Protein backbone atom coordinates (compact mmCIF):
# COMPACT_ATOMS: atom_id res chain seq x y z
CA UNK A 1 0.00 0.00 0.00
CA UNK A 2 1.15 3.54 -0.71
CA UNK A 3 0.89 6.77 1.30
CA UNK A 4 -2.83 7.50 0.94
CA UNK A 5 -3.74 4.05 2.19
CA UNK A 6 -1.26 4.23 5.07
CA UNK A 7 -2.71 7.51 6.32
CA UNK A 8 -6.27 6.23 5.92
CA UNK A 9 -5.31 3.05 7.79
CA UNK A 10 -4.40 5.08 10.86
CA UNK A 11 -6.09 6.10 14.04
CA UNK A 12 -7.69 9.55 13.61
CA UNK A 13 -4.73 11.09 15.39
CA UNK A 14 -2.28 13.33 13.58
CA UNK A 15 0.84 11.94 15.29
CA UNK A 16 -0.26 8.40 14.43
CA UNK A 17 -0.93 9.41 10.82
CA UNK A 18 2.40 11.20 10.50
CA UNK A 19 4.21 8.18 11.93
CA UNK A 20 2.44 5.86 9.51
CA UNK A 21 3.64 8.04 6.64
CA UNK A 22 7.18 8.77 7.85
CA UNK A 23 7.95 5.11 8.51
CA UNK A 24 8.63 4.77 4.78
CA UNK A 25 11.05 7.66 4.03
CA UNK A 26 12.70 7.38 7.46
CA UNK A 27 12.92 3.57 7.18
CA UNK A 28 11.13 3.12 10.49
CA UNK A 29 13.73 5.01 12.53
CA UNK A 30 12.24 6.85 15.49
CA UNK A 31 13.92 9.89 17.03
CA UNK A 32 14.26 10.65 20.72
CA UNK A 33 11.17 12.41 22.00
CA UNK A 34 8.80 11.07 19.36
CA UNK A 35 5.31 10.65 20.81
CA UNK A 36 3.87 7.23 21.61
CA UNK A 37 1.20 7.74 18.95
CA UNK A 38 3.81 8.53 16.30
CA UNK A 39 5.81 5.44 17.25
CA UNK A 40 2.64 3.35 17.09
CA UNK A 41 1.93 4.72 13.62
CA UNK A 42 5.36 3.58 12.48
CA UNK A 43 4.75 0.10 13.87
CA UNK A 44 1.40 -0.16 12.10
CA UNK A 45 3.12 0.86 8.86
CA UNK A 46 5.36 -2.17 9.17
CA UNK A 47 2.37 -4.41 9.93
CA UNK A 48 0.53 -3.12 6.85
CA UNK A 49 3.54 -3.70 4.60
CA UNK A 50 4.22 -7.18 5.96
CA UNK A 51 0.58 -8.24 5.69
CA UNK A 52 0.22 -6.80 2.19
CA UNK A 53 3.42 -8.27 0.75
CA UNK A 54 2.53 -11.79 1.92
CA UNK A 55 -1.16 -11.71 0.93
CA UNK A 56 -2.29 -14.01 -1.88
CA UNK A 57 -4.41 -11.29 -3.51
CA UNK A 58 -1.52 -8.82 -3.60
CA UNK A 59 0.62 -11.54 -5.12
CA UNK A 60 -2.15 -12.21 -7.64
CA UNK A 61 -2.14 -8.54 -8.63
CA UNK A 62 1.61 -8.67 -9.18
CA UNK A 63 1.23 -11.78 -11.33
CA UNK A 64 -1.22 -9.90 -13.56
CA UNK A 65 1.68 -7.60 -14.50
CA UNK A 66 3.78 -10.37 -15.99
CA UNK A 67 6.16 -13.09 -14.91
CA UNK A 68 9.20 -10.88 -14.35
CA UNK A 69 9.83 -7.37 -13.10
CA UNK A 70 11.67 -5.71 -10.24
CA UNK A 71 9.10 -2.98 -9.64
CA UNK A 72 5.84 -4.91 -9.75
CA UNK A 73 5.19 -4.49 -6.02
CA UNK A 74 5.73 -0.72 -6.30
CA UNK A 75 3.36 -0.54 -9.26
CA UNK A 76 0.65 -2.47 -7.42
CA UNK A 77 1.08 -0.26 -4.33
CA UNK A 78 0.52 2.85 -6.44
CA UNK A 79 -2.37 1.28 -8.35
CA UNK A 80 -4.06 0.31 -5.08
CA UNK A 81 -3.96 3.96 -3.97
CA UNK A 82 -5.70 4.84 -7.25
CA UNK A 83 -8.28 2.14 -6.55
CA UNK A 84 -8.74 3.35 -2.97
CA UNK A 85 -9.38 6.83 -4.36
CA UNK A 86 -11.86 5.46 -6.87
CA UNK A 87 -13.73 3.49 -4.20
CA UNK A 88 -13.23 5.94 -1.34
CA UNK A 89 -16.94 6.20 -0.53
CA UNK A 90 -17.05 2.44 0.12
CA UNK A 91 -14.53 2.69 2.95
CA UNK A 92 -14.75 6.17 4.46
CA UNK A 93 -17.46 8.04 6.34
CA UNK A 94 -16.08 11.39 5.19
CA UNK A 95 -15.17 12.69 1.76
CA UNK A 96 -11.59 12.36 0.59
CA UNK A 97 -11.40 16.14 0.19
CA UNK A 98 -12.34 16.73 3.83
CA UNK A 99 -10.09 13.91 5.04
CA UNK A 100 -7.06 15.31 3.19
CA UNK A 101 -7.75 18.92 4.14
CA UNK A 102 -7.91 17.96 7.82
CA UNK A 103 -4.73 15.93 7.56
CA UNK A 104 -2.77 18.63 5.72
CA UNK A 105 -3.91 21.36 8.14
CA UNK A 106 -3.01 19.36 11.25
CA UNK A 107 0.25 18.12 9.75
CA UNK A 108 1.33 21.70 8.99
CA UNK A 109 0.65 22.65 12.60
CA UNK A 110 2.78 19.73 13.81
CA UNK A 111 5.77 20.43 11.55
CA UNK A 112 7.75 22.37 14.20
CA UNK A 113 7.65 19.34 16.52
CA UNK A 114 9.53 17.17 14.02
CA UNK A 115 13.24 16.79 13.20
CA UNK A 116 14.36 18.67 10.09
CA UNK A 117 14.60 15.59 7.87
CA UNK A 118 11.09 14.53 8.86
CA UNK A 119 9.85 18.08 8.20
CA UNK A 120 11.31 17.96 4.69
CA UNK A 121 9.42 14.80 3.76
CA UNK A 122 6.16 15.98 5.28
CA UNK A 123 6.39 19.45 3.69
CA UNK A 124 6.83 17.88 0.27
CA UNK A 125 3.80 15.67 0.81
CA UNK A 126 1.69 18.69 1.70
CA UNK A 127 3.02 21.29 -0.74
CA UNK A 128 2.69 19.00 -3.76
CA UNK A 129 -0.62 17.51 -2.56
CA UNK A 130 0.82 14.06 -3.18
CA UNK A 131 -2.08 12.24 -1.52
CA UNK A 132 -4.45 13.63 -4.13
CA UNK A 133 -2.68 12.38 -7.26
CA UNK A 134 -4.73 9.26 -7.97
CA UNK A 135 -8.03 10.59 -9.29
CA UNK A 136 -7.74 9.07 -12.76
CA UNK A 137 -5.62 6.69 -14.78
CA UNK A 138 -3.98 9.77 -16.29
CA UNK A 139 -2.97 10.82 -12.77
CA UNK A 140 -1.63 7.33 -12.14
CA UNK A 141 0.49 7.60 -15.30
CA UNK A 142 1.96 10.89 -14.03
CA UNK A 143 2.64 9.25 -10.67
CA UNK A 144 4.59 6.48 -12.38
CA UNK A 145 6.62 9.18 -14.14
CA UNK A 146 7.38 10.92 -10.82
CA UNK A 147 8.42 7.68 -9.18
CA UNK A 148 10.82 6.86 -12.01
CA UNK A 149 12.54 10.21 -11.45
CA UNK A 150 13.38 9.11 -7.88
CA UNK A 151 14.66 5.66 -8.85
CA UNK A 152 18.39 5.16 -9.23
CA UNK A 153 19.79 5.22 -12.75
CA UNK A 154 21.17 1.74 -12.17
CA UNK A 155 17.71 0.34 -11.43
CA UNK A 156 16.11 2.28 -14.29
CA UNK A 157 18.35 0.40 -16.70
CA UNK A 158 16.64 -2.79 -15.53
CA UNK A 159 13.05 -1.70 -14.93
CA UNK A 160 10.71 1.34 -14.88
CA UNK A 161 7.27 1.78 -13.36
CA UNK A 162 6.06 3.59 -16.48
CA UNK A 163 6.65 0.41 -18.48
CA UNK A 164 3.75 -1.20 -16.59
CA UNK A 165 1.16 1.43 -17.34
CA UNK A 166 -0.34 -0.24 -20.41
CA UNK A 167 -0.71 -3.61 -18.69
CA UNK A 168 -2.16 -1.92 -15.61
CA UNK A 169 -4.71 -0.11 -17.78
CA UNK A 170 -5.60 -3.31 -19.62
CA UNK A 171 -6.00 -5.27 -16.39
CA UNK A 172 -7.52 -2.53 -14.22
CA UNK A 173 -10.85 -4.34 -13.76
CA UNK A 174 -9.14 -7.48 -12.46
CA UNK A 175 -6.79 -5.43 -10.31
CA UNK A 176 -9.82 -3.66 -8.87
CA UNK A 177 -11.44 -7.00 -8.03
CA UNK A 178 -8.26 -8.02 -6.20
CA UNK A 179 -8.20 -4.72 -4.32
CA UNK A 180 -11.86 -4.76 -3.31
CA UNK A 181 -11.47 -8.24 -1.85
CA UNK A 182 -8.11 -7.52 -0.24
CA UNK A 183 -8.61 -4.09 1.33
CA UNK A 184 -11.40 -5.04 3.79
CA UNK A 185 -9.22 -7.90 5.00
CA UNK A 186 -6.33 -5.50 5.54
CA UNK A 187 -8.66 -3.14 7.42
CA UNK A 188 -9.71 -5.98 9.72
CA UNK A 189 -6.08 -6.80 10.49
CA UNK A 190 -5.27 -3.17 11.26
CA UNK A 191 -8.41 -2.84 13.42
CA UNK A 192 -7.19 -5.67 15.63
CA UNK A 193 -3.98 -3.75 16.38
CA UNK A 194 -5.17 -0.17 16.98
CA UNK A 195 -7.63 1.72 19.18
CA UNK A 196 -10.95 0.96 17.47
CA UNK A 197 -12.57 4.05 18.99
CA UNK A 198 -10.25 6.20 16.85
CA UNK A 199 -11.39 4.78 13.53
CA UNK A 200 -14.45 7.02 13.19
CA UNK A 201 -13.50 7.84 9.58
CA UNK A 202 -13.89 4.18 8.57
CA UNK A 203 -17.15 2.94 7.11
CA UNK A 204 -16.28 -0.77 7.14
**How many Å separate Cα 180 from the centre of its chain?**
15
pLDDT of residue 123: 97
Q: What is the pTM of this model?
A: 0.96
- φ and ψ of 202, to 5 deg: -85, 140
* Residue 92: strand pairing partners: 202
Which residue ranges make up each domain of the chain? 3-194
Decide if 140 contacts 168 (C-beta within 8 A): yes
pLDDT in tens, the chain (204 residues): 899 999 999 999 999 999 999 999 998 899 989 999 999 999 999 999 999 999 999 999 999 999 889 999 999 999 999 999 999 999 999 999 999 999 999 999 999 999 999 999 999 999 999 999 999 999 999 999 999 999 999 999 999 999 999 999 999 999 999 999 999 999 999 999 999 999 999 998
pLDDT of residue 113: 94
Sequential DSSP letters for 75-135: HHHHHHHHHHHHTHHHHBSS-HHHHHHHHHHHHHHHGGGS-HHHHHHHHHHHHTTGGG--S
d(CA 121, CA 192): 29
pLDDT of residue 28: 86
Amino acid sequence: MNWLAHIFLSEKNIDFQIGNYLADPLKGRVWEGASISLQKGMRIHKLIDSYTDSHILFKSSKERLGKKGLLKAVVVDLTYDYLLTKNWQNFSNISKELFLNEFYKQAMSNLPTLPLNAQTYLKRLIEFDLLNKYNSLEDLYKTFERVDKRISKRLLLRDKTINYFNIVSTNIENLEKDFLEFFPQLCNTVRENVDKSKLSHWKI
